[in-house]
């Protein structure tokens, strides 16, 4: 099975490296040369590809706008499996389904990352124990999904979830996009310059993903419909806390605290797979 990964950033590099570690032959493709040299020197890829010739599987580890163009115009071999790794799925799926394709599309979203980006942050262990979401439609090829799931296990993913692109986008608004916005908003105050010595784990956790890459702007805007209600929902809840504290209403503050605790406990069940997995 010949695998070509287009895009040698942290995700593309980690996909290549973790597949190569399991013995798969992997070629890397990239617009600029330097990341390819780094990937070659560090044993993340076997060789460099300048097109998709002979590929059985192509992984597009590119920003959504670039991946969209590639899915629409790319010259893939007949029957080739093409997977993008973008964080928003409905728009890309629409592009793919807009006309018949000679390739088999499977949208995947690896739920792992680091605060840093680029090939130097890539690693063959980035996905160990992590979640992978597969976004699929009625027209998705079943055997392509089976191949992708098998590769996902080889990459180290612990859990693979399948859902529609729309469901993916709705869930991701809550589990990932909102978290990045909150983290960024939280840290954006002059006061943070003085926090040294006053922080415990909660501040670090709250602000860890604040240094977002610019590509997140694209992801937020592509998922506006699902993301906006989540931001509103959170600010309404913060307003409830604010009101209860302003009124010195101990019972109401306690209600909010206890409701939050109850929600947390619901997702701590051993079979829920949130806090038992890699975090």
Instruction: Give min distance, CB of 196 to a second copy, in A.
Output: 4
Instruction: Give min distance, CB of 51 to a second copy, in A.
Output: 31
In this complex, which beta carbon is closest to a second copy, that of residue 104 or of residue 170? 170
In this complex, which beta carbon is closest to a second copy, that of residue 166 or of residue 206? 206
How many beta carbons lie within 10 A of that of residue 186, not counting itself? 13
Closest-CA residue to 43 (of 16, 6, 61): 16
To which H or E segment does residue 159 belong? strand 159-163
Instruction: Give min distance, CB of 224 to a second copy, in A.
Output: 6
Instruction: Give min distance, CB of 6 to a second copy, in A.
Output: 23
Instruction: Give min distance, CB of 103 to a second copy, in A.
Output: 26
Could you give phi then psi for residue 72, rounded to 5 degrees? -85, -40
- Measured in residues, the chain has a length of 279
Closest-CA residue to 83 (of 96, 65, 73): 96
DSSP 17-68: HHHHHTT--EEEE-SSSHHHHHHHHTTS-SEE-SS-TT-SEEEE-S-HHHHH
CA distance 270 to 61: 32
In this complex, which beta carbon is closest to a second copy, that of residue 102 or of residue 188? 188
In this complex, which beta carbon is closest to a second copy, that of residue 78 or of residue 193? 193
Instruction: Give min distance, CB of 219 to a second copy, in A.
Output: 10
In this complex, which beta carbon is closest to a second copy, that of residue 32 or of residue 279? 279
In this complex, which beta carbon is closest to a second copy, that of residue 75 or of residue 208? 208
CA distance 73 to 79: 16
Cross-strand partners of 109: 133
């Amino acid at each position: 099975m010949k695998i070509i990964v287009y895009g040698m950033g942290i995700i593309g590099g980690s996909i290549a490296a973790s597949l190569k570690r399991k013995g798969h032959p992997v070629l890397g493709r990239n617009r600029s040369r330097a990341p390819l040299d780094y990937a070659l020197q560090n044993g993340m890829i076997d060789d460099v590809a300048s097109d998709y010739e002979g590929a059985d599987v192509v992984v597009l580890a590119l920003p959504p706008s670039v991946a969209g163009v590639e899915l629409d115009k790319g010259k893939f071999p007949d029957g080739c499996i093409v997977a993008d790794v973008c964080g928003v799925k409905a728009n890309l799926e629409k592009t793919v389904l807009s006309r018949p394709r000679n390739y088999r599309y499977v949208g995947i979203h690896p739920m792992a990352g680091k605060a840093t980006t680029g090939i130097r942050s890539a690693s063959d262990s980035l996905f160990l124990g992590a979640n992978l979401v597969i976004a699929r439609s009625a027209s998705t090829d079943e055997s392509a999904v089976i191949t992708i799931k098998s590769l996902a296990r080889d990459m180290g993913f612990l859990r693979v979830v399948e859902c529609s692109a729309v469901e993916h986008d709705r869930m991701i608004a809550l589990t990932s996009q909102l978290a990045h916005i909150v983290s960024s908003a939280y840290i954006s105050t002059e006061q943070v310059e003085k926090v040294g010595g006053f922080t415990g784990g909660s501040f670090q956790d709250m602000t860890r993903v604040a240094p977002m890459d610019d590509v997140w702007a694209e992801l937020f805007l592509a998922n506006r419909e699902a993301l906006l209600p989540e931001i509103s929902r959170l600010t309404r809840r913060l307003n409830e806390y604010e009101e209860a504290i302003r009124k010195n209403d101990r019972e109401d503050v306690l209600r909010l605290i206890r409701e939050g605790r109850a929600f947390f406990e619901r997702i701590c069940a051993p079979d829920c797979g949130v806090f038992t997995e890699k975090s």
